[in-house]
A and B are shown apart, each in its own frame.
Chain A
């Protein structure tokens, strides 16, 4: 599929993100070599990238279907809180299954509102963002317990939150999910139909594709991935709060867009989404390290997003001219 042709390579949706990561490494090596290359810096950035990346993979899938999901931060929060809270009664495996079922259920409900209710996903999932966060407060009464020691030692908790070959489990899980889901998107029926649905819904319909089902699957997958990101987080660090996932939806969407997902649908990359998460996390981390004033990095995430969009646009044009 991919030839070693420069312009074909540049036409990859994630080309901008790949260049961005290279540039980020170059710039930070130049201005803060010892800080950037220290094990704890890259380890911390990768750990957080794994969590944000897991969410942004789901977001990328929804954006490819020309929809958006603003509720992922709250779904991440509710799934994590559900895991911790239900663990007392259901045990670790039961709590994980129940929490993921809650996540998937929310994705399904939102998808039904978008498809059957014919309400734009922007509105439905904005409602979801607030409603799910409200649910967290009502359910927990504002304070959340932590996992008892024996549950932390449970093999399943260790599988999601421990380390393997000295690498944090979350990093391996997100990398694995990215590879598997990339195969699903680019090498399987579902992906072909998802890209068609997002690229040109009327055409997809005319070729007999049940675009409603494709979108439902995309929304459910997105919520499941957001929920799974919370399991990855809490299996590692179970001390949490009702603020779990606060504002993370914005970073997840930004990561997907930096990674080359077009909001006009049908184009995107899961690798790009994870690299986008890496760029956001890396830039934020280094800004704080270098002593940028507090709360600057929020503006900076916005700035990175705009620069990435302009960069991606000009890349597409450049590649188009060379073809």
Chain B
């Protein structure tokens, strides 16, 4: 799969001149961006700005029409969620990620179920599945009475996000993409999820945090990337611009109005 040899100094994810069309709709226009480990990136933009499309390419759901994607210096040639998971890229979305009809333990290991052989037949290793998910339930602050055998449909929105984040940690992922992770959550749950995001970054993971709430993400992120109409319009370190200034950028259709402010070249 790899053509370019592994490069230690290469960014963890690098995207070059990415273009993607959905019929007549030009979803991504020549997007180039790179992300490093141990960073929390705020990916900001209005609906339809292309931020979700970009991360769908990174998580293997969409294949770009042109452009290149490198992971740890290796050129990515095939796009499938299975491969993204193999690379250690986990995407956490509000509506996707947990099957309501399955127990927490079953969801936790969905797609990478551990097995234990009985007479050579690979049965699911329920003990391992239950133990690992119970640990996450306890560490990530779910209600006391929730057990690993409970159906996911009994969990609150915040608890679901916690499980997904816990799963990302458990499987030693290198990249966690969080797509609007705090939508529909209570204030307390929102803070909890944001804390978890920072913990992941502190553990050396790359966290891409997608939102349209610039104020919220500005507090967490190390770097802010703003997209508009399928283009990357701004890419700055957190201290370079205040949240208000960035909000102004978004409000004006992604164009930097105040030319006195220096914008980091991409």
Could you tell me which A residues sit within 8 Å of B by CB distance?
Answer: 1, 183, 187-189, 192-193, 195-196, 198-200, 202-210, 266-267, 323
Contacts and interface: CB of A to CB of B under 8 A. Distances in A.
List of 9 A-B pairs having minimum Cβ-Cβ separation, nearest first: A199-B101, A207-B111, A208-B82, A266-B101, A208-B85, A199-B99, A200-B99, A208-B111, A207-B110
Interface string B158-182: 0000000000000000000000000
Nearest to B106: A192
B93 interface: yes
B132 interface: no
A198 B100 CA distance: 11
Nearest to B85: A208
Contacts, number: 85
A1 B99 contact: no
B124 A196 contact: no
Contact of B97 (A193, A203, A210): A203
| A196, A200, A266, most chain B CB atoms within 10 A | A200
| B106, B107, B110, B113, most chain A CB atoms within 10 A | B110
A203 B154 contact: no
Contact of A206 (B81, B86, B101, B106): B81
B123 A203 contact: no
Contact of B113 (A183, A192, A267): A192
Interface string B64-79: 0000000000000000
Nearest to A186: B124
A261 to B, nearest CB: 12
B149 interface: yes
Contacts of B91: 206
18 contacts: A183-B123, A187-B123, A188-B115, A188-B121, A188-B123, A189-B113, A192-B102, A195-B101, A199-B100, A203-B96, A206-B59, A206-B96, A207-B81, A207-B97, A208-B85, A208-B112, A209-B111, A266-B101
B140 interface: no
